[in-house]
Every structure is written in structure tokens, then in C-alpha cells.
Amino acid sequence: MVTVLHHPLVDHRMVYLRDANTKPKLFRELVSELTVFLVYEALRDLLRTKEVTVETPLTTTVGKKVADEIIIVPILRAGMGMLDGMLSVLPYAKVGVLGMQRNEETAEPIPYYAKVPPAHGEELAILIDPMFATGGSAIDAVSQLKKLGYRRIVFLNIVSAPEGIANFEQRHPDVPIYTAAKDEKLNSRHYIVPGLGDAGDRIFGTI
């Protein structure tokens, strides 16, 4: 259920995203661009479509329109850095937010806010968060979405750790994961190695 993007344009952007000298403006742009690559790949087989008749200037033909209602759910605060990229591809989507604060001693998530559109059963919820370290925040976020009635969920992230993937798959084996990079490991502080530092700090310039 894990798809890692393998593409020269993704690899090229990851070099600059990881670089400690990359400034917030460029960092935000790279996050948005990588998010677009992720959403294109993730929705290739997940989106349902319906056939429609189209009148072209020359004739009538049949095309396909997206039939799904889509809910984008960033995990605050770093997930907000991926939202512009998502909305550039899915401008008609609804947006919900889930607030998670990381306990720096235990690396466990502390939920503090939730505002998500009500589920009606068949919507596609796209959870977004740049960093996928221990998996705690993503696991908790998916659990919240399932309690709200969401049955179709996909998780997009930019950098993932094998520990997070393993933890997530134990709890939510039905939720596919799409990532731009699968890194080596977590260090003793639960940061991804080689990683790119704290994505939230780098997106918002709070380093």
C-alpha cells in the first residue's frame, strides 16, 4: 500500500528541499511542486469518473468528468504547506483541518483541533503532511477521519521513515500511502534521517 515516486523531476527537487541553505520561499515552492506530483500519481487509480457528452466546435464526443467529492485534510501546521499545491490541481475540493502537536519527549501526537466537513459515505479524503516519521500523527488523523464516517482515505507525504510506514500499516492497512522519498531511519530524537529538518519551521521560517 506504499507508493514511492521514482522520477528524475522528483529527485531533482528533493536535492534542493533537503539542502539546509534553501530559503523558505523556495522551500515552499518545492513543497507545492512535489505535492502536485504526488496528487497526480495518487489519484490516477483512486478517482472515480463518469462519462459525459461534449459538444466540440466540430462534432459531439464523449469525455470523462470526476465524479468524486474530494476533501483535503492537512495536519496542522506543516500540512498547510502542501495545501496550495493540492488546490491548484483540485480547486473544487473542500478542506478540513486536523491540529496535532508533537510531544518532543515521547514523539506522540497531541490532538488539539478538528474541523472537517461531515462525511456522507463515498467522499475521498486526502490526508496531507510533509513528514511521516513515527506515524503517530497520521495514525491518529486517519482514526479521527474513520470515526467521522470517511471510508475512502489516502495519505500523501513528502518524506517518510520505514518506522512510520510499519506503524501505520499495522493500524490502517486499508489506507494507501504515497510519498516522494522513503528515507533510511529515525534518529534518537525521532527525526527522519537524512530527512530535511523540521518541515513546519522551514515552510514558515520559524527556525
Q: How many CA atoms lie within 13 A of 188 on its CB side?
A: 0
Which of 106, 174, 189, 206 is catalytic? The answer is 106
- The answer to whether residue 183 is catalytic is no
Q: Which three cell numbers stand for residue 106?
A: 515521547
- Report d(CA 188, CA 146) in Å as an integer: 31
Q: Which residues pair with 102 in a beta bridge?
A: 109
Which of 3, 84, 171, 198 is catalytic? The answer is 198
- The answer to whether residue 198 is catalytic is yes
- Report d(CA 152, CA 185) in Å as an integer: 29
Q: How many CB atoms lie within 10 A of CB 41?
A: 18
Tell how far CA 205 is from the center of its chain: 21
Which of 102, 129, 183, 202 is catalytic? The answer is 102
39 to each of 134, 180, 184, 186, how far by Cα in Å?
A: 23, 11, 24, 26
Known catalytic residues are: 102, 106, 198, 201
